[in-house]
């Protein structure tokens, strides 16, 4: 394998990160505290108008290398380097009971794609919503909190989607967790109306999502997704420091020609468990669902991409040094009824297939997928400034053939406030 480009990229990443960070103190150092609070620029809690405002910025840069073989056994390798995320936003409180949040995606990096371009400027909203603190306003009995919201938000199903991209444990979310995600046509978060409340150690979230895609808020003329979830936090009642269970479900209702969410999935049900004690933790996701008959753009799926699917993701983690170095493992297994009912992440196997006409990876589609990931994360200022590095092995099969098997190694620099 030719690692010349990868070695130089990783060397630059590690040396830049460690040299700039070596003189910084611990997570609660003045530098880290300034970084975490850098975006807070307005605070007036007694105001009847705007009470607080915070600027948000997330910058993530990523490099890596892929080495594998296609279904004919033809070996290939490829490198990638990209502005993984550049997001900017604003959040705050106003009118005593109200909150707002707006986050814009400012990068569309296709540096590694055949057309080879990097596009800057507003691409889509990752969030654009307003929420009402209903419990503070109406003081419901037996309820600890209640939020009523409207706007663009995330539809979470898997454990990995419970954590934002700024707090991710692996270099990339697993392909199975992304399959469950309620993404729109442009891989963004859709419009929704929701009520979320908590009582004791229980939290409930009910939402109606719209499949209609729009660069801004959008409307309700396409598919509907009915979503409900329950989260039970039993940490204080157990011998573990962390013990949570999370059950979530959605059902999509739409017709031909409608925009759809989640790649056109008909329904999905997931169960998540998080257990942890001291330096170790184990997060797991079990889910089943149906691919449905329509794609996210409302056109018909081929028979090979329909049918039911199921999968499991296990993620053990261990702090080598608390708040500094964390080992992260992940095992993924997913399977579908049809030969192309599951798909690898759009990064980076399907990309290599597009760029290299000599190989055939079936665009990363198959009916059975095993993946094993091992990574080491370095935290300079907690989640706000870190280096996430890992290596993953994938085996994908389709109709008894093996479109892809191979390794991906990469590293990502992430900073946000």
pLDDT, tens digit, for every residue of 84-106?
A: 899 999 999 999 999 999 999 88
| pLDDT score at 373 | 98
Query: Would you tell me how many other CB atoms lie within 10 Å of the CB of residue 28?
Result: 12
CA 232 to chain centre: 22
The whole-number pLDDT of residue 2 equals 47
Flag residues of the chain having pLDDT under 70: 1-26, 109-117
For the whole model, what pTM was predicted? 0.91
Q: How far apart are CA 181 and CA 347, in angstroms?
A: 16
State the Cα–Cα distance between residues 207 and 189, nearest whole angstrom.
13
Contact (CB, 8 A) for 222 and 191: no
Which H or E element spans position 293? Answer: none
Q: What sections of 92-210 are H helices per DSSP?
A: 134-138, 159-162, 175-180
**CA separation for the pair 104, 184 (Å, rounded):** 15
Integer Cα distance of 140 and 160 in angstroms = 32
Helix (H, G, I), strand (E, B) or coil at 334: strand
Instruction: Give the pLDDT confidence score for residue 7 in this predicted structure.
Output: 52
What residues have CB less than 8 Å from 415, skipping those under 6 apart?
35, 58, 59, 60, 384, 385
Q: What is the pLDDT of residue 82?
A: 85
* Paired strand residues for 63: 81, 411
CATH number at residue 362: 2.40.160.10
In the prediction, which pLDDT does 333 show? 98
For 88, other C-beta atoms within 10 Å of its C-beta total 16
In Å, what is the CA distance from 66 to each residue of 305, 377, 405? Answer: 26, 20, 10
Strand partners of residue 374: 329, 391
Output the six-digit token pair for 222: 């396409």
Structure tokens at 214: 């729009």
| Domain range for 378 | 4-416
pLDDT of 17 reads: 52
- Total domains in the chain come to 1
Q: 270, 247 in Cβ contact below 8 A?
A: yes
Nearest partner of 332 among 161, 175, 179, judged by Cα: 175
* Distance, CA of 59 to CA of 414 (rounded, Å): 6
């Amino acid at each position: 394998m030719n690692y010349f480009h990868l070695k130089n990229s990783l060397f630059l990443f590690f040396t830049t990160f460690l040299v700039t960070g070596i003189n910084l103190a611990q997570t609660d150092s003045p530098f880290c505290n300034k970084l975490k609070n850098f975006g807070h620029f307005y605070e007036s809690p007694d105001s009847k108008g705007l009470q607080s405002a915070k600027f948000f910025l997330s910058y993530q840069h990523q490099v890596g290398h892929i080495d594998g073989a296609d279904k004919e056994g033809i070996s290939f390798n490829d490198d990638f380097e990209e502005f993984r995320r550049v997001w900017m936003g604003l959040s705050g409180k106003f009118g005593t009971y109200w909150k707002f949040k707006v986050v814009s995606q400012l990068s569309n990096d296709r540096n590694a794609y055949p057309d080879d371009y990097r596009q800057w400027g507003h691409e889509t909203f990752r969030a654009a919503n307003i929420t009402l603190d209903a419990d503070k306003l109406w003081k419901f009995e037996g309820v600890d909190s209640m939020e009523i919201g409207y706007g663009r938000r995330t539809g979470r199903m898997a454990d990995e989607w419970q954590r934002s991209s700024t707090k991710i444990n692996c270099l990339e979310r697993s392909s199975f967790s992304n399959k469950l995600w309620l993404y729109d046509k442009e891989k963004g978060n859709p419009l929704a109306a929701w009520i979320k409340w908590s009582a004791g150690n229980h939290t409930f979230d009910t939402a109606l999502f719209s499949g209609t895609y729009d660069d801004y808020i959008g409307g309700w003329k396409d598919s509907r997704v009915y979503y409900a979830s329950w989260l039970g936090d039993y940490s204080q009642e157990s011998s573990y420091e962390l013990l949570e269970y999370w059950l979530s479900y959605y059902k999509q209702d739409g017709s031909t020609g409608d925009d759809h969410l989640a790649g056109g999935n008909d329904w999905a049900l997931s169960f998540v468990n998080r257990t942890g004690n001291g330096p170790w933790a184990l997060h797991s996701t079990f889910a089943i669902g149906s691919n449905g008959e329509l794609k996210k753009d409302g056109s018909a799926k081929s028979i090979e991409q329909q049918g039911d699917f199921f999968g499991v993701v296990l993620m053990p983690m261990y702090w080598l040094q608390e708040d500094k170095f964390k080992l992260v493992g992940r095992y993924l297994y997913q399977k579908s009824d049809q030969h192309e009912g599951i798909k690898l992440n759009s990064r980076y196997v399907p990309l290599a297939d597009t760029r290299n006409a000599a190989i055939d990876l079936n665009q990363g589609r198959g009916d059975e997928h095993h993946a094993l990931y091992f990574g080491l994360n370095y935290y300079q200022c907690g989640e706000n400034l870190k280096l996430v590095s890992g290596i993953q092995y994938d085996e994908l099969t389709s109709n008894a053939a093996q479109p892809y098997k191979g390794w991906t190694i990469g590293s990502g620099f992430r900073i946000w406030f």
